[in-house]
Amino acid sequence: MIAEAVYLQASQTVRFAIYPQDIDGPRVLAEISENALEELFGADKHPKSWVSTCCVHFDFIKEVALQHYRSFPHLPISLRTIDFFLVSDAKT
């Protein structure tokens, strides 16, 4: 699936869309921090790198965002580094 990713300088995040029910269902916007992209996925400190890294690792990032959405459907999805460790802990 295409990430539909765009860098947001004001929040220092990359915004992307997820489709919890499938591509024909509602579109939900989510964000991932620059720090998470750098620390977890090896992105460089540059907006193009953050966006491309989000796209390359989108399947995993999307799954974490979907789990967040299913657990807290009325809260904004703003992924940080810790969110990826919480998902790992929940699976073990």
| Structure confidence by residue, pLDDT tens digits, 7-32 | 999 999 999 999 988 777 889 999 99
In a domain, 48, yes or no: yes
Closest C-alpha among 89, 75, 81, 87 to residue 13: 81
Cα dist from 78 to 17, 33, 60, 65, whole Å: 12, 7, 15, 8
In a domain, 24, yes or no: yes
Residue 39 is part of which domain span? 6-91
**Strands, sheet with 6-8, edge to edge from the N-terminal-most edge strand:** 6-8, 13-18, 28-33, 77-79
pTM summary value:
0.87
| Domains held by the chain: number | 1
In a domain, 1, yes or no: no
In a domain, 19, yes or no: yes
In a domain, 72, yes or no: yes
Q: Between these two residues, 14 and 92, which has the higher pLDDT value?
A: 14
